[in-house]
Structure 1
Amino acid sequence: MNILIGNQKGGCGKSTIALLLANYLTLVKQQKVTLIDMDYQQSIAQKFEKGKVLENKPPYDVVAAQLAHYPVLQSAIMQTPTEAVIIDLPGKLDDDGLLPVFDSADLLICPFSYDEFSFDSTILFAIVLRKINPAIPIIFIPNRVKANVRYETMQEVNKQLSKLGVMAPLIPDRIDFQRVTTFMTPLPVIPVIIPVFDQIYTVIAEKLAAPPNG
């Protein structure tokens, strides 16, 4: 199963969400996972290499890759349909290399924040993906939400995004998220993220249980 973590707006927490999801799937659901880091900063791949030196056997593999590598990676992904492959996408839309990635995806998880530029970027990203892959489920995660966000703003943004996908519970802005690694989710973060990833896992479980062409 091919799970995209994407938004063309930088700073929305894509890489952290990808790490948290991989940790949740492996540690809570005992699901086999491979995480493909296609983000420009390659922060996940760097954490993974650092963690291998300091820790024991990693709970999942992390592959550093670029969009140009995807056609080769896709053939390997298709041979393991029961494995969850999480792809942390680069924050862009202007690359034809995204087309095969979008087309073969089974789920998009789209973190965003409640500001005007993030909202516009999120809407555009979701619309473009839907044009390429009309049937794909989209889950929007309000991420790094600050305490001073206006309730009316949240309601209006949620209303518009709900036309394109499903809204997950919000994740507040907390410094603990900076300590997430490929080996560990900090304890204070767990109660915050469980409602979000339990909802996401419902979609993942349905997809994994479906027939190959289902």
Structure 2
Amino acid sequence: MIIIIGNQKGGAGKSTFALVLANFLTQEKNCPVTVIDMDYQQSIAQKFQKAKILENAEPYDVVPANLESYPYLRDLLCKSAKDVILIDLPGKLDDDGLIPVFTSADLVICPFAYDEFTFQSTVLFTVVMKRINPKIMMVFVPNRIKSNARYEIMLEVNEQLSKFGKITPVLPDRVDFQRVNTFYTPVSLSLVITPVLEQIYTDYLWKT
């Protein structure tokens, strides 16, 4: 299964969520996972290299990649239906090289926040994705949500996004998300993230 983690809005937490999901799938569900880091900052690939220097065992591979190399990587990595490929997308949608990525994906996970600008960017990202790949499944993850988020805005945003896909429970804004790396998710996050990850796994992955 090819899963895109993406949103047009920078700072939505997609790279961190990709790490959390990869850690969960490998450590809790024994899924074979490869992460393709297409983000311009290459933050996941950098953390992966740091972990190797510290001689930590890698539970999965991280492949830094650009859009031009994707078709080759897709054919190389997708050898089995049980393989899970997580793609951390770049934050911009203005490159035709993204079309092969969009058309080959099975699922999009879209972290977002409850503010007007992020909501608009999320809807734009969703519309573009659905236009290129009408059959793709979408999951929206309310991420880095502060305790003072307005309930009325949350209801309105959820109503609009639910027209395109499912919405998971909220992930709060917590400092310990900064400690996530390619081999470790803080235990303190387990109660927060497990309901979200279990929902995604149960709805989309357990049959693969």
For the superposition of Structure 1 and Structure 2, which TM-score range results when normalised by the shorter chain? over 0.9
Give the structure 2 partner of residue 181 of structure 1: 181
> How many pairs are equivalent?
208
How far, CA to CA, are the matches of 1:7 and 1:207 in structure 2? 26
Distance 1:161 1:133, change over 3 A: same
Q: How does 1:136-175 map to 2 (within 5 A)?
A: 136-175=136-175
For structure 2, the residue ranges without an aligned partner over 5 or more in a row are none
Equivalence map 1:39-58=2 (5 Å): 39-58=39-58
| Deviation larger for 77-86 or 35-44 | 77-86
TM-aligned CA deviation for residue 206 of structure 1? 5.1
Per the TM alignment, residue 207 of structure 1 is displaced from its structure 2 partner at its CA by 5.7
* Aligned AA (1:110): C
Alignment of 1:73-84 (within 5 A): 73-84=73-84
1:99 equivalent in alignment to 2:82:
no
Q: How far apart, CA to CA, are the structure 1 residues paired with 2:114 and 2:131?
A: 24
The CA distance in 2 between the partners of 1:144 and 1:128, in whole Å, is 24
Deviations 1:129-181 (A, max 9, x none): 11111111100000000011100000000000000110000100000000000
- Structure 1 residue 55: Cα displacement: 3.4
Q: Distance in 2 between matches of 1:78 and 1:189?
A: 31
1:11 correspondence with 2:20? no
| Partners of 1:160 and 1:50 in 2: CA distance | 40
Q: How does 1:20-59 map to 2 (within 5 A)?
A: 20-59=20-59
The alpha carbon displacement at 1:81 in A equals: 2.5
TM-superposed CA distance for 1:124, in Å, is: 0.7
Looking at structure 2, the residues matched to 103 and 193 of structure 1 have their Cα atoms a distance apart, in angstroms, of 29
Q: For 1:153 and 1:56, locate their aligned partners in 2 and report how far apart those are by CA, in whole Å.
A: 43
Looking at structure 2, the residues matched to 146 and 56 of structure 1 have their Cα atoms a distance apart, in angstroms, of: 33
| Moved segments of 4+, more than 4 Å | none
Instruction: Please give the alpha-carbon distance, in whole angstroms, between the structure 1 residues aligned to 2:207 and 2:41.
Output: 30
Compared CA separation, residues 98 and 81, structure 1 to 2 (3 A): same
Paired residue secondary structure (1:160): helix
Report the AA paired with residue 46 of structure 2.
Q
Give SS of 1:3's match.
Answer: strand
Return the offset for 1:56: 2.7
RMSD: 1.0
**Counterpart check, 1:125 vs 2:105:** no
**In structure 1, distance between residues paired with 2:72 and 2:35:** 15
Q: Secondary structure at the match of 2:85?
A: strand
Q: 2:23 corresponds to which letter in structure 1?
A: N
Deviations 1:24-77 (A, max 9, x none): 000010111000100000000000000111133200000001111111112113
Map of 1:211 onto structure 2: none
Compute the displacement of 1:190 (Å): 1.0
